[in-house]
Amino acid sequence: MATSIVGLDIGNGVIRAAEISDPGKSKPTLIRYHSMSVAPGSVHRGEIIDHGSVTAALKQLWSTGGFKSKRVVLGVGNQRVLVRDVSVPKMPLMQIRESLPFQVQDLLPVPVADALLDFYPVSAGTTDVGEMINGLLIAAVKDPVLKNVEAVQAAGLDPVEVDLIPFALARSLLEGANGAGTVALLHIGAVTTSLLVAVDGAPQFVRILQYGGEDVTSALIKKLGVTAEQADQIKRGLGLAIEGVAPEWRPAVETIAASTGDLLDSVRNTLSFYVNTHPDAAFERILISGGGAQLPGLGQALAEATRLPVGLPDPRGNMTVAKSVDQARMQSDAAGLAVAAGLALGNKS
Residues found near ligand ATP in the complex (CB under 6 A)? 11-14, 46, 189-192, 212-214, 217, 232, 235-236, 290-292, 294-295, 336
Q: Work out how close the CB of 84 gets to ligand ATP at its nearest, in angstroms, rounded to a whole number.
A: 21
Q: How many CB atoms lie within 10 A of CB 230?
A: 14
The total of other beta-carbon atoms located within 10 Å of residue 140's CB is 23
CB of 54 to ligand ATP, least distance (A): 13
Distance CA 2, CA 147 (A): 31
Residues 6 or more apart whose CB falls under 8 angstroms from that of 110 comprise: 141
Bridge-partner residues for 34, per DSSP? 17
Exposure b/e, 59-73, CB count within 10 A at least 16 = b: eebbeebebebebbb
Nearer to ligand ATP, 11 or 313 (CB): 11
Q: Pattern of binders to Mg ion over 170-209, x per CB under 5 A? A: -------------------x--------------------
Least separation, in Å, of the C-beta of 207 and ligand ATP? 15
Distances in Å between the alpha carbon of 187 and those of 54, 131, 165, 214? 24, 34, 10, 14
Helices (runs of H) and strands (runs of E) counted in the chain: 10, 16
Shortest Cβ distance from residue 289 to Mg ion (Å)? 9
- CB half-sphere exposure, 9, CA atoms < 13 A: 31
**Residue among 284 and 326 whose Cβ is closer to ligand ATP:** 326
- Nearer to Mg ion among residue 48 and residue 104 (C-beta): 48
Among 6, 8, 11, 292, interactor with Mg ion by CB under 5 A: 11
Min dist. Cβ of residue 77 to Mg ion (A): 8
Which residue lies nearer to Mg ion by CB, 13 or 101? 13
CB of 315 to ligand ATP, least distance (A): 11
Q: Which is nearer to ligand ATP, 163 or 214 (CB)?
A: 214
- Residue 310 or 343: the one with the smaller Cβ distance to Mg ion is 343
Closest-by-Cβ residue to Mg ion is 189
Phi, psi of 105 (to 5 degrees): -50, -40
User: DSSP character for 290?
Assistant: S
**Interface residues toward Mg ion, by CB under 5 A:** 11, 189
